[in-house]
């Protein structure tokens, strides 16, 4: 294995992140600036605000990560950067920066798929045996992968409509709880002991595909039926905290059941998995983690891995990790690589 030091840059959505990774010493440093505060008032990410903020912050975040790693630009051999998928304006800030350093300082460039980053994010801190089943659930994506080696993964199922994190955010918006929805819904559900009050419909599809829009609509119409929500004014009519907690808890139970059901089904379809990884922003959710642990991992006696919360949500460490194994295989990218 060649000894490389990599600077990784991630700007696909509303986080600007940088990491420095070395073959022998592994992750040296990673830094991130989250724009959640800028987007809160809009209840979701506003692409134009995201890319403008990246432009202001990117230099400082890269400098912080470089300083923390103890490396200078001369020590860096390779620049890894998220090339897809993401918000185009946001991606282009990171990519332009990466290309500028690569071009002017004569460094090699590795373009990294953001989803591949998430898929291997649990490998940053753990040695996970192959093949493993990877459940990715974030604000923009929900997919099940069969991972057979570094860089080798097959999509078994994905969402047909909303991503799981998006459903958390939209239900929280419906309940006037704020953004991002996941942590707020989890906290409120805990206050009513994670009980299931309303038994929202579970996804009954006979395959490994996901759907969260029906659940979201069920929550909405249930609130309308309770005279708690006005479709005309598109707004919640009540500040009944207890009702909000019950809806949050029932919604969370439903999402957990969906994950448990699909992961179980995937294990039944192919029995050679040596581990399960649960990754992406939604994997920060302790209730869902525990449900998968108890109802799937313990039952099937298969180890379950999740990244630390800082590597669940968007980060550059996962881009550095993937960039590193791609560099070892000499999978370098030309300066005009594809972006989407």
Does 136 interact with Zn ion (rule: CB under 5 A)? no
Smallest distance from Zn ion to CB 1, Å: 28
Residues 250, 196 contacting (CB under 8 angstroms): yes
- Give Cβ neighbours of residue 308 (< 8 Å, ≥ 6 apart): 125
Residues 15, 86 contacting (CB under 8 angstroms): no
Distance CA 269, CA 40 (A): 41
Does 142 interact with Zn ion (rule: CB under 5 A)? no
Does 123 interact with ligand KG4 (rule: CB under 6 A)? no
Does 323 interact with ligand KG4 (rule: CB under 6 A)? no
Smallest distance from ligand KG4 to CB 96, Å: 21
DSSP strand pairing (26-34 vs 132-137): unpaired
Provide the CA 42 distance to its chain's centre, in angstroms.
20
CA dihedral 52, 57, 59, 62 (to 10 degrees): -130
Does 138 interact with ligand KG4 (rule: CB under 6 A)? yes
In 3D, which of 157, 148, 184 has the Cα closest to residue 168?
184
Give the residues across from 80 on adjacent strands.
8, 110
Return the one option of Zn ion, ligand KG4, none that residue 307 interacts with (CB less than 5 to 8 A, by type): none
Q: With contacts defined by CB under 6 A, name the span among 67-75, 146-154, 162-170, 321-329 that binds ligand KG4.
A: 162-170
Return the one option of Zn ion, ligand KG4, none that residue 128 interacts with (CB less than 5 to 8 A, by type): none
CB of 5 or CB of 315, closer to ligand KG4: 315
- Write out the two tokens for 72: 């200078």
Return the one option of ligand KG4, Zn ion, none that residue 10 interacts with (CB less than 5 to 8 A, by type): none
In 3D, which of 245, 256, 253 has the Cα closest to residue 191?
245
| Interface map 258-287 toward ligand KG4 (x if CB under 6 A) | ----------------------xxx-xx--
- Write out the two tokens for 139: 């604000």
CB of 146 or CB of 170, closer to ligand KG4: 170
Return the one option of Zn ion, ligand KG4, none that residue 169 interacts with (CB less than 5 to 8 A, by type): ligand KG4
**Does the CA dihedral 246-248-249-254 come out positive or negative?**
positive
* Selected binder of ligand KG4 within 43, 117, 180, 323 (CB under 6 A): 180
**What residue spans of the chain are helical by DSSP H?**
36-39, 47-69, 88-105, 114-119, 164-174, 181-190, 213-225, 241-269, 286-292, 298-300, 309-312, 317-328
* Selected binder of Zn ion within 10, 14, 116, 314 (CB under 5 A): 314
CB of 151 or CB of 190, closer to Zn ion: 151
Return the one option of Zn ion, ligand KG4, none that residue 282 interacts with (CB less than 5 to 8 A, by type): ligand KG4
Distance CA 110, CA 101 (A): 12
* Selected binder of Zn ion within 35, 90, 138, 285 (CB under 5 A): 138
Positions in the binding site for ligand KG4 (CB under 6 A)? 13, 138-140, 165-166, 168-169, 180-183, 186, 280-282, 284-285, 313-314
Positions in the binding site for Zn ion (CB under 5 A)? 138, 314
């Amino acid at each position: 294995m060649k000894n490389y030091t990599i600077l990784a840059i991630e700007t696909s959505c509303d986080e600007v992140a940088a990491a420095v990774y070395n073959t022998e010493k592994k992750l040296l440093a990673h830094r991130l600036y989250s724009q959640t505060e800028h987007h809160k008032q809009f209840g979701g990410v506003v692409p134009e605000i995201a890319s403008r903020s990246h432009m202001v912050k990117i230099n400082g975040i890269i400098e912080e990560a470089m300083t923390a790693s103890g490396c200078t630009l001369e020590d860096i051999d390779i620049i890894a950067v998220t090339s897809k998928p993401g918000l185009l304006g946001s991606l282009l800030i990171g990519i332009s920066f990466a290309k500028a350093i690569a071009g002017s300082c004569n460094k090699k460039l590795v373009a990294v798929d953001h989803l591949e980053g998430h898929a291997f994010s649990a490998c940053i801190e753990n040695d996970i045996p192959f093949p493993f089943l990877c459940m990715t659930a974030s604000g923009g994506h929900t997919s099940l992968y069969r991972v057979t080696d570094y860089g080798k993964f097959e999509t078994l199922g994905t969402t047909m409509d909303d991503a799981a994190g998006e459903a958390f955010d939209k239900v929280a918006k419906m309940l006037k709880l704020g953004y991002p929805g996941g942590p707020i819904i989890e906290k409120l559900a805990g206050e009513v002991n994670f009980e299931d009050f309303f038994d929202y419909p579970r996804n009954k599809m006979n395959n490994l595909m996901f759907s969260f829009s029906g659940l979201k609509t069920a929550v909405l119409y249930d609130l309308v039926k309770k005279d708690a929500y006005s479709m005309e004014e598109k707004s919640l009519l009540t500040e009944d905290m207890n009702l909000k907690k019950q809806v949050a808890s029932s919604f969370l139970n439903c999402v957990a059941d969906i994950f448990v059901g699909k992961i179980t089904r995937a294990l039944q379809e192919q029995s050679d998995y040596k581990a399960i990884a649960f990754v992406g922003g939604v994997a920060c959710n302790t209730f869902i983690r525990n449900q998968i642990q108890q109802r799937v991992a313990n039952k099937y006696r298969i180890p379950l891995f999740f990244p630390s919360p800082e590597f669940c949500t968007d980060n550059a460490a996962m881009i550095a990790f993937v960039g590193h194994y791609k560099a070892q295989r000499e999978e370098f990218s030309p300066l005009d690589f594809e972006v989407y």
